[in-house]
Amino acid sequence: MKLLMIDGHRLKKFIISGANRLNQKKDEVDSLNVFPVPDGDTGTNMSLTVLSAAKEVAKINSPNIHDIAKALSTGSLKGARGNSGVILSQLFRGFCKGLEGKDRASAKDIAEAFSKGVESAYKAVMKPKEGTILTVSKAISEKSLEMANKTEDIVEMMKEVLSYANSVLDKTRNMLPELKQAGVVDAGGKGLISILEGGFFDSGEYIELYEEKEPKKLSDKNIKEIDIKYGYCTEFFINIKNNNDNLETELKSFLESIGDSIVLASDDDFIKIHVHTNNPGKVLERAMLVGSLDNIKIENMRTQHSNLIDFTLEKEPSKDYGFVAVSIGEGIDNLFKEYGVDELITGGQTMNPSIEDILNAVDRVDAKNVFILPNNKNIILASEQVKEACTSKNVEVIETLSIAQGFSALTSFLSTDSLEKNIKNMNEAIKYVSTGQITYAVRDTSIDGIDIVQGDILCMIDGKIKNVSKDIELGTKELIDKMIEEKEDAFNISIYYGSDIKEEEAKKIENYVSEKYDYLDFELIYGGQPLYYYIISIE
């Protein structure tokens, strides 16, 4: 049966089926991550991103294809997690732009929308690499444009497109040295193909929605009686067709006239509003003149304050600088708080926070300038998207790749320095940090000539495997020796031990370092991080 046109209802089915397909395949995609460490999360991140998109799409009942595409774009951006999720959201964003003004789409329309998606995704990546999801998406675009000139049948076109995409995916194992060494294809490319295969050739519509964890309740310690000028915390999204700078300026001016604590963040298809006001009805009425409303949340802050539930309303005085840091582990959380971090986001190796998670944390920081410390290479791109989206305050991303670099950045910060000087000092400081990590292998493989067996202890410096051991203690000592050997000017070493390490085991490492390297400043800290037995910082 030929398919010559796709309308909104059919695209909705395709998106939901595609999300369902990747959700089923996410573990398989995770297993393709190059390193055999327990942080293979490409499939998980992409699945959560497209499930977020599918949740938005499921709310729309329109035959107009662009209406559905807009929901796809908005939902994916809200839920984008990790680099792979952010790139996927940009593919969807461009796809949406390609369908602008259309009620239905032909094979040629879809091909052109794919092309717009690829253009948008490449722009989002500072240094695009071939052999990745970008390569696969470009192959999909090029083949679809070619096939659209040969046939009007969308099914026939997509069969050829996906066949070609799979052949290009297979070639990615030889495009990047790390893929070739691991003997795997690109995980992001595999995830993208899984979505399209599910969308065009599966019929299932059921989505098992990802359940967010209950938000962590804040302590009720040190609550002061405060005069709450504006009693209702009001948050919502405006779905919008024609966003522009003038409109955002007018909205912000209106909000300032009836409230405070204003955050206005935007994308092509939506504006997120956060405001404290005594007249939430007026806010909603004004917003409805702009577009339809979604995810409305109004909370009575006076009631919450008097009952001491969910969160405290004690606010720091307005200040110049604030910090948001990605953290994991009780000990590491506590240390970040001691360093003055305002908002912590739980995340890291196995669960990257979404753009919305990071944006919400930035929203809560009462400061003119907010620094984001992603502390993981896979969270940097999402953080950069937050920097672009947040218009209510200045956001700066310090590209910290590890918890160790996050602490180093914080120690170089001075509240009395200018913004430019602090950015320079923090970026300079993280260059001199060497990060060691001790974890375990989740599968058999061979990397850089090192044979690895599932369960082996992997010892890494700045993400590169340096030695493999059968014993955590021996492997850790060997890695410390290598790190100090490579960093001749080292003066300080900090070791954070994880949730799977007993204190007496960590003390053995402490004794080893104290005796052998007594000229170094040394600190042993309970980090409580999962998966990684030790995180080692040498400066």
3-state SS assignment for residue 152? coil
For residue 524, what are the β-bridge partners?
495
CB atoms within 10 A of CB 329: 24
CB-CB contact of 272 with 359 (8 Å): yes
CATH 1.25.40.340 maps onto the chain at 8-201
309 pLDDT above the threshold of 60: no
pTM of the model: 0.67
| Most confident among 22-26, 284-288, 522-526 (mean pLDDT) | 522-526
pLDDT higher for 91 or 347?
91
218 pLDDT above the threshold of 50: no
Q: Where are the alpha helices (DSSP H) in 99-207?
A: 107-124, 133-148, 154-171, 177-182, 187-201
Q: Which fold has domain 232-304?
A: Alpha-Beta Plaits (3.30.70)
Rounded Cα distance between 507 and 495, Å, is 11
pLDDT confidence of residue 311: 37
CB atoms within 10 A of CB 347: 23
pLDDT confidence of residue 494: 93
- For the domain made up of 8-201, the CATH class stated in words is mainly alpha
Rounded Cα distance between 188 and 507, Å, is 41
CATH 3.30.70.3100 maps onto the chain at 232-304
pLDDT confidence of residue 118: 94
Q: What is the mean pLDDT of the chain?
A: 85
Res. 271 pLDDT band, cuts 50 70 90: confident
Stretch 9-25: mean pLDDT? 90
Res. 35 pLDDT band, cuts 50 70 90: low
Pick among 1.20.120, 1.10.260, 3.30.310, 3.30.1180: CATH of 434-538:
3.30.1180
Residue type present at position 320: D
Start-to-end CA span in the chain (Å): 65
What b/e readout covers 3-25, taking b as 16+ CB neighbours within 10 angstroms? eeebbbebbbbbbbbbbbbbbeb
Res. 78 pLDDT band, cuts 50 70 90: confident
Residue type present at position 343: E
Question: What percent of the chain lies above the pLDDT cut of 70?
Answer: 87
Return the closest-CA partner of residue 84 out of 110, 121, 57.
Answer: 121
Q: Which fold has domain 319-431?
A: Rossmann fold (3.40.50)
What is the 8-class DSSP label of residue 497?
E
Rounded Cα distance between 287 and 273, Å, is 9
What is the 8-class DSSP label of residue 205?
-
Res. 427 pLDDT band, cuts 50 70 90: very high
pLDDT confidence of residue 143: 96
Stretch 294-321: mean pLDDT? 58
Rounded Cα distance between 287 and 271, Å, is 10
CB-CB contact of 219 with 312 (8 Å): yes
Rounded Cα distance between 331 and 497, Å, is 9
Q: What would the two tokens of residue 26 be?
A: 């996410």
For residue 373, what are the β-bridge partners?
325
- Tokens 């990590």 locate to 437
202 pLDDT above the threshold of 80: no
Return the closest-CA partner of residue 82 out of 387, 532, 385.
Answer: 385
Res. 186 pLDDT band, cuts 50 70 90: very high
Stretch 486-515: mean pLDDT? 93
Q: What would the two tokens of residue 382 be?
A: 């999402």
What is the 8-class DSSP label of residue 352?
P
